[in-house]
């Protein structure tokens, strides 16, 4: 604000018009986002809601008309929708803890002062984060292959018959979680940033009191990092609720094995691009939005109880 | 290597104070030199094992990428090997690793075996004219002799079959246009949030951040419909145009960074009569370059990664596809039949992002840190 001379006493008399001028420039610079927000976020969101009350089709000569709650009723009565939600939540139950904890553990390891060459390890652990998504799926799929994959070959070395990870309904979720591990680099860096922000005096004091490493971890490191845990958790939730592109690549979205990869977003995607039912897809999309909103709000509310902000008064 | 980022343990304890405290508490410095050394070896060992496992898929991909279909179908072997044969009087004889009575192992070509006598007759490929060697034992207990035979041709096959050069150029062009768009728009928007006071600023900024949590599908149906209606489906427009209208992540990152730049220079420029645009160009941007580089790299890599956008709008236009979509289609069409070629294409597709990362790693880390520490507050 002062950049525009507001603080200069000589111009105090023109304060109001200066403030207006500043606001005008602010809005001018803001305009790309305002236009983008309206065109690509707000209006499409409202339109999606409106679509969900119509019979609109991707390719159809039939006139578009309002059908009231028909899509929503059909959706709630559709067993496939519930099944797709169950699939998404079952996967999330495994994926989320891993997505939050594994980067933390790696960051803890890399932050240890006993580690030789920490810089090199940081580069190496972060590197796969930059491998393009499709490439990492294709590479890990090979890793989990039953005959030539190294996971099963390593198991075979110990005399264990390696399973067919990606085709076994009981193992598909661990296989998919493993397949996503190369994405931990981003979270790891954020945790490392958080770790470097913890005042060393806390550890000094704890050491004088004779606190063990584990107690220091539990009573200093983890509480001090709680904002980072929250950040990773919320982004993890948003991500996992949209999960489906991996299985699109692996098995073309067939839902195999046994419907265990029939994720909710895959269902929306098919409803739209395979069946062209935009009305139904819109209702499904809005339901996803409401679910995401409800869960993130709950997490933020609950966070008041367990997140500690050092700067808070 | 990443000097921007230093860990708690190593920096936060001023040396003299630390030793004083350590002496006072009677800990740490009196433990002798063996235990810290063992701890160092232990921790570093754990890290080595973890990183080996973490990066092993790359190595596997590399070995698969130079195997032929035959080499892959015999499963187990780590390296691309081909069984050795030896041509003897117009017959191709299989060569085996044969343990000899004197304890040595020789590579011999199997001429014939007699189940009844329990003997196998070999000839030595090195001396084919010498007498055949009769060996006592079961031929099925013997391992074939193999020779390293990497199929580098997989790479040229992949290059041609996937039209790699075209995909690569498309990917680079898309990434470049999107990066320009993001830089132009997000810098202006971040500047507005960081330096100007206007009614509704806080609410608008919360809105910006809130869009990060919005599922893609919540907006994609009408956007797709409109883009199709105005004839943009099957062009690059749906991918590159939105880049020019700012996005939450990059606005957030740039704004956080701009907030840390002191206002003194802005004020000096204002007193000299510089308008907001001149202040941005000649005062703010020169100081914000670390964040600008970070945003450029993120956008470039993000665009390189993007699969969903191309999947929606470019599935029917092979000529316009980027690597992500081309690779996914190649995988779908060829992976069951010839995984070696698919892995070759995959490895070629990650070369540019990896080099990019290794060159600019410091900026990656700084960028993520700005975002991460910002969201904490």
Question: What's the gap in Å between the CA of B110 and the closest CA on chain A?
Answer: 29
Nearest to B150 by CA among B249, B49, B268, B71: B71
Measured distance CA(A135)–CA(B201) in Å, rounded: 41
**CB-neighbour burial class of residue A243 (10 A; exposed 0-12, middle 13-18, buried 19+):** buried
What would the DSSP string read from start to end of A189-214? HHHHHHHHTS-HHHHHHHHHTT--HH
Which chain B residues contact residue A122 at CB under 8 A? 1-2, 5, 365
More confident residue, B27 or A247: A247
The size of the A-B interface in CB pairs under 8 A is: 350
Q: How confident is the model at residue B18 (pLDDT cuts 50, 70, 90)?
A: very low
Residues 6+ apart with CB under 8 A from A213: none
Nearest to B371 by CA among B171, B212, B177, B138: B212
Residues listed for chain A: 313
Assigned token pair, B131: 């007498």
**Is B261 in a helix, a strand, or coil?**
coil
Q: How confident is the model at residue A32 (pLDDT cuts 50, 70, 90)?
A: very high
Render pLDDT for A259-270 as a digit per residue (tens, 0 to 9).
899 999 999 998
Superfamily of the domain at A70-306: MetI-like (1.10.3720.10)
Assigned token pair, B158: 């992949």
User: Does the structure show a pLDDT above 60 at B29?
Assistant: no
Highest mean pLDDT among A14-28, B21-35, B283-297: B283-297
Q: What is the pLDDT of residue B25?
A: 44
Q: What is the pLDDT of residue B207?
A: 92
**Closest chain A residue by Cα to residue B262:** A3
Q: What is the pLDDT of residue A183?
A: 86
Q: What is the pLDDT of residue A9?
A: 45
Yes or no: say if B272 and B358 are a contact pair by the CB < 8 Å rule.
no
Instruction: Please state, rounded to an integer, the average pLDDT across all residues of chain A.
Output: 87
Yes or no: say if A116 and B44 are a contact pair by the CB < 8 Å rule.
yes
Longest dimension (CA), chain A: 86
**Closest chain A residue by Cα to residue B198:** A23
H-helix segments, chain B? 8-11, 15-25, 34-65, 69-73, 153-161, 164-195, 201-210, 217-229, 237-240, 248-259, 264-271, 276-279, 285-305, 308-313, 323-334, 339-376
Residue with tokens 């780590």: B78
What would the DSSP string read from start to end of chain A? -GGGTTT-GGGGGGHHHHHHHHHHHHHHHHHHHHHHHIIIIIHHHHHHHHHTTB--BSS--SPP-B-TTHHHHHHHH-HHHHHHHHHHHHHHHHHHHHHHHHHHHHHHHHH-TT-SSHHHHHHHHHGGGGS-HHHHHHHHHHHT-TTT-HHHHHHHHTTPPPP-GGG-TTTHHHHHHHHTGGGHHHHHHHHHHHHHTS-HHHHHHHHHTT--HHHHIIIIIHHHTHHHHHHHHHHHHHHHTT--HHHHHHHTT---STTTT--HHHHHHHHHHTT-BHHHHHHHHHHHHHHHHHHHHHHHHHHHHH---TT--
User: Does the structure show a pLDDT above 50 at B96?
Assistant: yes
**Residue B87, CB-side half-sphere exposure with 13 Å CA sphere:** 1
**Is A269 in a helix, a strand, or coil?**
helix
Assigned token pair, A128: 């796969």
Q: What is the pLDDT of residue B111?
A: 78
Render pLDDT for B324-365 as a digit per residue (tens, 0 to 9).
999 999 998 888 888 889 999 999 999 988 888 888 888 777
Measured distance CA(A245)–CA(A281) in Å, rounded: 17
Which chain A residues contact residue B195 at CB under 8 A? 1, 3
Assigned token pair, B170: 């498309």
Q: What is the pLDDT of residue A276?
A: 85
Nearest to A186 by CA among B55, B368, B361: B368
Q: Is B51 within 8 Å of chain A by CB?
A: yes
Q: What is the pLDDT of residue B3?
A: 39
More confident residue, B128 or A213: A213
Measured distance CA(B337)–CA(B315) in Å, rounded: 22
The backbone torsions φ and ψ at residue B148, rounded to the nearest 5 degrees and listed phi first, read -65, 125
User: Does the structure show a pLDDT above 70 at A193?
Assistant: yes
CA-CA distances (angstroms) from residue A284 to A48, A71, A85, B218, B220?
10, 9, 11, 9, 12
Return the sign of the alpha-carbon dihedral for residues A12, A13, A19, A22. negative
Highest mean pLDDT among A243-252, B9-18, B70-79, B144-153: A243-252
What would the DSSP string read from start to end of A149-180? -HHHHHHHHTTPPPP-GGG-TTTHHHHHHHHT
Question: What's the gap in Å between the CA of A86 and the closest CA on chain B?
Answer: 18
Q: What is the pLDDT of residue B76?
A: 61
Q: What is the pLDDT of residue B127?
A: 79
Question: What's the gap in Å between the CA of B7 and the closest CA on chain A?
Answer: 5
**Across residues B12-22, what is the average pLDDT?**
41
Render pLDDT for A122-147 as a digit per residue (tens, 0 to 9).
889 988 988 998 999 999 998 888 77
Measured distance CA(A210)–CA(A146) in Å, rounded: 50
Nearest to B251 by CA among B297, B309, B193, B169: B193
Q: What is the pLDDT of residue A34?
A: 94
Residues 6+ apart with CB under 8 A from B88: B109, B111, B123, B125, B128
**Across residues B13-19, what is the average pLDDT?**
41
Measured distance CA(A125)–CA(A102) in Å, rounded: 12
**Across residues B296-322, what is the average pLDDT?**
91
Q: What is the pLDDT of residue B48?
A: 94
Task: Give the nearest partner residue to A40 out of B6, B12, B219, using CB atoms.
Answer: B219
Angle, helices B323-334 vs B339-376, to 10°: value is 140
- Contact call for A311 and B377, based on CB within 8 A: yes
Which of A126-140, A227-241, B19-33, B198-212 is predicted least confidently? B19-33
Measured distance CA(B210)–CA(B214) in Å, rounded: 7
**Across residues A232-236, what is the average pLDDT?**
91
Residue with tokens 């290794």: B358
Domains of chain B and any CATH numbers: 8-65 (no CATH), 81-148 (2.30.30), 155-376 (1.10.3720.10)
Question: What's the gap in Å between the CA of A59 and the closest CA on chain B?
Answer: 10
Q: Is B353 within 8 Å of chain A by CB?
A: yes
Nearest to B343 by CA among A84, A149, A114, A28: A149
Task: Give the nearest partner residue to B354 out of A130, A249, A272, using CB atoms.
Answer: A130
User: Does the structure show a pLDDT above 80 at B12?
Assistant: no
Task: Give the nearest partner residue to A3 out of B184, B195, B217, using CB atoms.
Answer: B195
Render pLDDT for A153-174 as a digit per residue (tens, 0 to 9).
888 888 888 888 888 888 999 9
Task: Give the nearest partner residue to B57 out of A126, A143, A194, using CB atoms.
Answer: A143
- Contact call for B218 and A285, based on CB within 8 A: yes
**CB-neighbour burial class of residue B130 (10 A; exposed 0-12, middle 13-18, buried 19+):** exposed
Q: Structure pTM?
A: 0.83
Question: What's the gap in Å between the CA of B149 and the closest CA on chain A?
Answer: 17
Radius of gyration of chain B (CA): 32
**Across residues A2-23, what is the average pLDDT?**
60
**Across residues B122-126, what is the average pLDDT?**
81
Q: How confident is the model at residue B13 (pLDDT cuts 50, 70, 90)?
A: very low
Task: Give the nearest partner residue to B266 out of A3, A241, A252, using CB atoms.
Answer: A3
Q: Is B10 within 8 Å of chain A by CB?
A: yes
Which chain A residues contact residue B42 at CB under 8 A? 114
Q: What is the pLDDT of residue B372?
A: 66
User: Does the structure show a pLDDT above 50 at A8?
Assistant: no
Q: What is the pLDDT of residue A172?
A: 92
Q: Where in chain A is the domain with CATH 1.10.3720.10?
A: 70-306
Task: Give the nearest partner residue to B13 out of A204, A245, A268, using CB atoms.
Answer: A204
- Contact call for B7 and A118, based on CB within 8 A: yes
DSSP state letter for B28: S
**Across residues B150-177, what is the average pLDDT?**
92
**Across residues B85-93, what is the average pLDDT?**
80
User: Does the structure show a pLDDT above 80 at B376?
Assistant: no
Residues 6+ apart with CB under 8 A from A290: none
Yes or no: say if A201 and A274 are a contact pair by the CB < 8 Å rule.
no
Measured distance CA(A121)–CA(A109) in Å, rounded: 10
User: Does the structure show a pLDDT above 90 at B4?
Assistant: no
Which chain A residues contact residue B193 at CB under 8 A? 30
- Contact call for B214 and A41, based on CB within 8 A: yes
Q: What is the pLDDT of residue B374?
A: 56
Q: Cα B246 vs. chain centroid, distance in angstroms? A: 26
CA-CA distances (angstroms) from residue A117 to A114, A120, A189, B364, B365?
10, 6, 17, 19, 17
**Across residues B153-169, what is the average pLDDT?**
91
Interface of B with A in 106-135 (CB under 8 A): none
Q: What is the pLDDT of residue A33?
A: 95
Interface of B with A in 302-341 (CB under 8 A): 304-305, 307-308, 311-312, 323-325, 327-328, 331-332, 335, 339
Q: Is B4 within 8 Å of chain A by CB?
A: no
């Amino acid at each position: 604000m002062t950049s525009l001379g507001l603080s200069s006493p000589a111009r105090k008399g023109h304060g109001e018009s200066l403030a207006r001028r500043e606001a005008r420039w602010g809005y001018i610079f803001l305009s790309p986002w305002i236009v983008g927000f309206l065109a690509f976020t707000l209006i499409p969101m409202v339109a999606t809601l409106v679509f969900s009350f119509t019979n609109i089709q991707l390719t159809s000569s039939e006139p578009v008309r309002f059908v009231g709650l028909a899509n929503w009723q059909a959706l709630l009565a559709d067993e496939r929708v519930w099944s797709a939600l169950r699939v998404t939540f079952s996967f999330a139950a495994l994926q989320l803890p891993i997505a939050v904890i594994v980067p933390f553990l790696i960051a803890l390891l890399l932050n240890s002062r006993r580690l030789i060459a920490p810089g090199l390890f940081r580069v190496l652990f972060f590197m796969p984060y930059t491998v393009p998504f499709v490439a990492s799926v294709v590479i890990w799929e090979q890793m989990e292959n039953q005959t030539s994959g190294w996971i099963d070959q390593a198991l075979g070395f110990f005399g264990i018959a390696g399973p067919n990870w990606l085709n076994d309904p009981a193992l598909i979720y661990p296989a998919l979680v493993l397949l996503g591990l190369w994405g931990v680099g981003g979270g790891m860096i954020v945790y490392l940033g958080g770790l470097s922000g913890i005042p060393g005096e806390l550890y000094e004091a704890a050491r004088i009191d004779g606190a063990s490493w584990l107690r220091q971890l539990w009573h200093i490191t983890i509480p001090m990092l709680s904002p980072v845990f929250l950040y990773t958790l919320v982004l993890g939730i948003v991500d996992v609720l949209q999960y489906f592109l991996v299985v699109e690549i692996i098995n073309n979205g067939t839902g195999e094995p046994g419907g265990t990869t029939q994720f909710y977003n895959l269902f929306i995607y098919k409803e739209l691009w395979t069946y062209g039912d935009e009305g139904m897809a819109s209702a499904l999309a809005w339901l996803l939005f409401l679910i995401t909103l409800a869960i993130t709000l709950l997490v933020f509310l609950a966070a008041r109880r367990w997140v500690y902000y050092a700067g808070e008064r | 290597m990443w000097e921007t980022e230093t860990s708690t343990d190593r920096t936060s304890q001023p040396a003299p104070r630390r030793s004083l405290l350590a002496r006072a508490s009677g800990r740490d410095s009196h433990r002798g030199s063996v235990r810290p050394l063992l701890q160092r070896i232990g921790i570093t060992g754990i890290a080595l094992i973890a990183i080996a496992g973490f990066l092993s898929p790359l190595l596997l991909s590399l070995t698969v990428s130079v195997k032929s279909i035959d080499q892959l179908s015999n499963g187990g072997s780590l390296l691309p090997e081909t069984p050795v044969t030896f041509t003897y009087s117009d017959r191709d004889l299989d060569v085996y690793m044969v343990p000899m009575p004197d304890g040595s192992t020789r590579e011999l070509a199997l001429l014939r075996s007699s189940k009844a006598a329990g003997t196998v007759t070999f000839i030595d490929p090195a001396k084919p004219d010498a007498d055949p060697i009769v060996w006592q034992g079961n031929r099925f207990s013997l391992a074939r002799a193999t020779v390293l035979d990497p199929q580098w041709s997989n790479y040229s096959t992949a290059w041609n079959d996937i039209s790699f050069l075209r995909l690569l150029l498309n990917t680079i062009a898309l990434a470049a246009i999107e990066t320009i768009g993001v830089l132009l728009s997000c810098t202006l928007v971040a500047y507005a949030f960081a330096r100007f006071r206007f009614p509704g600023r806080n609410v608008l900024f919360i809105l910006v951040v809130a869009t990060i949590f919005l599922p893609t599908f919540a907006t994609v149906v009408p956007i797709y419909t409109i883009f199709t209606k105005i004839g943009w489906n099957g062009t690059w427009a749906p991918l590159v145009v939105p880049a020019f209208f700012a996005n939450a992540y990059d606005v957030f990152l740039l704004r956080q960074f701009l907030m840390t730049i002191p206002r003194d220079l802005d004020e000096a420029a204002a007193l000299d009569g510089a308008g907001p645009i001149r202040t941005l160009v000649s005062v703010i941007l020169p100081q914000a370059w670390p964040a600008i580089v970070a945003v450029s790299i993120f956008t470039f890599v993000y665009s390189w990664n993007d699969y969903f956008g191309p999947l929606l709008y470019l599935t029917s236009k092979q000529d316009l596809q980027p690597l992500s979509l081309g690779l996914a289609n190649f995988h779908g069409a060829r992976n069951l039949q010839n995984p070696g070629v698919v892995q070759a294409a995959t490895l070629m597709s990650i070369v540019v992002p990896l080099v990019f990362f290794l060159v600019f790693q410091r900026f990656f880390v700084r960028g993520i840190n700005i975002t991460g520490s910002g969201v904490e507050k």
